[in-house]
Amino acid sequence: MATKKTIELKGLAVDALNEELKIASQDLNRMKFDHAAKGLENPDQIKGLKKDIARLKTEIRAREIASMTKEELAKRSKIRLRRK
């Protein structure tokens, strides 16, 4: 079942997704530093931010795969079969 955040991400443009990913990564680094230095009031925020970053990366990759040509998809399938 899609979460509210996932549905919102599907409505954004690729450039906006990349910008959100950049901001989220910077926020994560800042949170990690703050947590190590003085501690966070709620350390679970780090966990939630990591999940948000994963959602962003997943949506970006899904759009990359959707925009691939048949030849690129065939090559990708061969690579995936070789890994097994």
Q: What is the pLDDT of residue 1?
A: 56
Place of tokens 């691939």: 68
CATH says 4-83 is which class?
mainly alpha
Rounded-to-integer distance, Cα 19 and Cα 6, Å? 16
Task: Look up the pTM and report it.
Answer: 0.84
The confidence band for 74, taking pLDDT boundaries of 50, 70 and 90, is confident
Task: Report which of residues 4 and 17 the model is more confident about.
Answer: 17
Rounded-to-integer distance, Cα 77 and Cα 84, Å? 11
Is the Cβ–Cβ distance between 63 and 9 less than 8 Å?
no
